[in-house]
Amino acid sequence: MSEQTVVAVEDLTQKVPDSDLAVVVRFVPHNSYVEVFKSGMVRLISPAGVVSAQFKELDKRDWLRQSYIQSLLDAGVTGAEFEQALQAIARVDQRLAQQIDVGSGISDLERRTAEHLRAWVESQGLDYDALSEDEFMALVQQGVAAARRKE
């Protein structure tokens, strides 16, 4: 019979707010644990040794991609829709990677997206500049829901 692994998570952000260490995840009885630091560094400590990794903060492009994917999931996107969205993301990433000046490609994509969103919001009879972020996201979710009902 195999041993049962118990995972114990200790959040240190409240207990020891001045510590650089944020979370400790212990794997009992394997005598192993993971330390997660506020800086993004993660350290796995086990009887076999220590492995460390430093995770970088998401850059704007990564953050936008993750936010878009999360908004799709929050909106209840179906499998086929999600697959199409991931393919579209991959195409954009591929086009950006092929450009010599990625920064201008990203700027152009952001500009075209903002223009498209502004035109769409104004077509709904609303003032784009007066919308809060929450109001804008609610409007986008309503638009997605309406488009799905038409399909």
Mean pLDDT highest for which of 4-8, 25-29, 146-150? 25-29
Structural domain boundaries, residue 67: 60-150
What's this model's pTM, rounded to 2 decimal places? 0.38
Do 86 and 128 fall within a single domain? yes
CB under 8 Å to 39, separation ≥6 — which residues? 20, 54
Q: Which of 18-32, 111-125, 133-147 has the lowest mean pLDDT?
A: 133-147
Residue 150: is its pLDDT beyond 60? yes
pLDDT in tens, 32-57: 889 988 888 889 898 888 888 877 66
Domains in the chain, number: 2
Q: Do 104 and 141 lie in a common domain?
A: yes
Say whether both 22 and 65 belong to one domain. Answer: no
CA-derived radius of gyration, the chain: 22
Position 63 pLDDT exceeds 60? yes
On whether both 93 and 22 belong to a single domain, the answer is no
Residues 70 and 39 in one domain: no
β-sheet with 41-46: strand ranges across: 6-11, 21-28, 32-37, 41-46, 49-54
Q: Dihedral of the CA atoms 27, 32, 35, 40 (nearest 10)?
A: -100
Q: Mutual orientation of helices 102-123 and 79-98 as an angle, nearest 10°?
A: 140
Residue 74 lies in a domain: yes
If asked whether residues 75 and 121 sit together in one domain, one would say yes
* Residue 1 domain flag: no
Contact predicate 28/5, CB 8 Å: yes
What digits encode the pLDDT tens for the residues 92-124?
Answer: 878 777 766 666 777 787 888 888 888 888 888
- Residue 73 tokens, joined: 């999931």
Q: Is the same domain home to 83 and 116?
A: yes
